[in-house]
Chain A
Amino acid sequence: MNYIRLDTWDLALAALLLLGVAALSLLLQLRIERKLLLAGLRCALQLALVGLVLTKLFELVSPWWTGLAALAMVLFAGREIMARQERGFHALWAYGIGTSAMLMAAALVTVFALTTQVKPEPWYDPRYALPLLGMILGNTMTGIALGLQRLTEGARQQRAGIEALLCLGATRRKAMLPITRQALTTALMPIINALAATGLVSLPGMMTGQILAGVEPLEAVKYQLMIMFMIAGGTTLGAVTAVFVGVHRLTDNRDRLRLDRLAGE
């Protein structure tokens, strides 16, 4: 593999571009220079830290430390799901539903990919496990957050229709089916769009990265395809689980719609 290393000087040159546009903002009185520089600094610090942690983890190749890092990633993603709920489930419920659905889906799919397709030695080798988990987690997180939000929004907006179905003797599952479908359509929209547009509109980041690292395009495409299928599977699994648990929470065992269990009621 022919791979071009960047040295400090190269990075400094790239950073100079950021300083340049900050100067431009100052000149034009746009007042975005502060935000831009702070965000750039934050990005540099975070990535340097991640680089150090990954280096250490790759040296250790310990199932415990790898597992701990994976758990931390899941917990952070769960927080993200909770933060994206507007007038949805109460914070603790959103966190609980989101995190458990994501843990189940992402763990299942990542282990499946590692043990049957990528097959590193050992299978939990963090060099493969963590980037794979990260990509699956990021997409599953978005799917679950969108699905739960659409579900609770739909229950509020379509309350009269849902209760009309209940009044005519529908079970809670049947009465909630229309908004269950809407929630899952919304949850899976980004991944379905990504599957359709990949290669035509966007070159996926991972594939680009592998090509820059010297991998043959066709080899990079194979990796990318596998990842896309894993992401689609993981997102669907996670979103379906979260939305079904959400439907259960939004109704009770006497087949009532329980909007009083949402925040802001």
Chain B
Amino acid sequence: MLTVANLSRPGLEPTSFELAAGACIALRGPSGAGKTLLLRALADLDPNEGDVLLDGVPRDRIPAPLWRRRVGYVPAEPGWWSERLAEHFQDWDAQAGPARRLKISPSAAERRVSQLSTGERQRLALLRALEHRPEVLLLDEPTGPLDEETTAAVEALLREKQSNGLALFWVTHDKRQAERVADRSFWIDSGRLREAVLEDARKR
């Protein structure tokens, strides 16, 4: 579904991989290694070179706003453009179910966005991205600020979306989470991306 060939930008060496529909790739690496740079390049938020195709259609043949609706990106610190939570959703009322599943308190909508906790904002940003029904979702530490129980809820929701065909590219610092959620694991260091299996073999 998502084909990446020789994608590069300052801080990222030419990178190639394929992500199939319903698959999940986990990406790990030290901080400053280029994880966020790679995600931003895939979402086309910064100038970059190389070929990225979605279902065989080159990215430059798809208007950028449409591309980002199909290839969603949830950064580690999501941005908000209004203090009213409901304004960030097309239909906030329809979010009641998923919000309950992610253990977001029903009173969240009455509070100002800046008064929500980091973890609540993280989960709400995920819901906000899922509302647009992306085909690929780029996640930067989506459970970073969450406890075990909420992490499990997020993983369960994403697994369900995955079984409906959503492809995930999941940045995590947690090796066990990578093993839990992903069928393939990548490792990035100094802007160089490799399959993590090779990394482990080299270490041994």
Q: Does A153 contact B (CB under 8 A)?
A: no
- Partner of A162 from the list B46, B63, B81 (CB cut-off 8 Å) is B81
A255 with B65: CB separation less than 8 A: yes
**Total inter-chain residue pairs, C-beta < 8 Å:** 62
CB neighbours (8 Å) of A171 from chain B are: 65
A255-B78 CB under 8 A given contacts A167-B43, A168-B69, A168-B129: no
B81 with A178: CB separation less than 8 A: yes
A158 with B44: CB separation less than 8 A: no
Q: Does A108 contact B (CB under 8 A)?
A: no
Return the CB mask of A245-259 against B: 1 if under 8 Å, else 0: 000000010111100
B68 with A166: CB separation less than 8 A: yes
Min CB distance A112 to B, Å, is 38
Complex Cα–Cα for A167 and B74 (A): 8
- Partner of A166 from the list B45, B78, B129 (CB cut-off 8 Å) is B45
Which residue on B lies nearest to A161, using beta carbons?
Answer: B81
A168 with B68: CB separation less than 8 A: yes
**Which residues 203-255 in A have Cβ within 8 Å of B in the complex?**
252, 254-255
**Which residues 59-98 in B have Cβ within 8 Å of A in the complex?**
63-66, 68-69, 72-75, 77-82, 88
CB neighbours (8 Å) of A167 from chain B are: 43, 45, 68, 72-75, 129
CB neighbours (8 Å) of B80 from chain A are: 160-161, 164
Which residue on A lies nearest to B80, using beta carbons?
Answer: A161
A169-B79 CB under 8 A given contacts A163-B45, A254-B64, A256-B44: no
Complex Cα–Cα for A256 and B82 (A): 20
Q: Does A79 contact B (CB under 8 A)?
A: no
B-side interface residues, number (CB < 8 Å) = 26
Q: Does A165 contact B (CB under 8 A)?
A: yes
B73 with A254: CB separation less than 8 A: no
Min CB distance A128 to B, Å, is 47
Min CB distance B46 to A, Å, is 7
**Which residues 4-45 in A have Cβ within 8 Å of B in the complex?**
none
Q: In the complex, which range does the number of interface residues on chain A fall in?
A: 20 to 34
A169 with B69: CB separation less than 8 A: yes
- Partner of B65 from the list A160, A161, A170, A257 (CB cut-off 8 Å) is A170
Min CB distance A173 to B, Å, is 10
Return the CB mask of B6-23 against A: 1 if under 8 Å, else 0: 000000000000000000
CB neighbours (8 Å) of B43 from chain A are: 167
Q: Does A156 contact B (CB under 8 A)?
A: no
CB neighbours (8 Å) of B194 from chain A are: none
Q: Does B103 contact A (CB under 8 A)?
A: no
Complex Cα–Cα for A100 and B64 (A): 30
B132 with A254: CB separation less than 8 A: no
Q: Identify the interface centre among A168, A169, A255: most chain B CB within 10 Å of its CB.
A: A168
Min CB distance B49 to A, Å, is 12
Min CB distance B195 to A, Å, is 27
* B residues apposed to A, CB below 8 Å: 43-47, 63-66, 68-69, 72-75, 77-82, 88, 125, 128-129, 132
Other than the known A169-B68, A255-B63, A255-B68, what 12 A-B pairs have Cβ atoms closer than 8 Å?
Answer: A160-B75, A162-B81, A164-B78, A164-B80, A167-B68, A167-B73, A167-B75, A168-B128, A168-B132, A169-B132, A254-B64, A256-B45
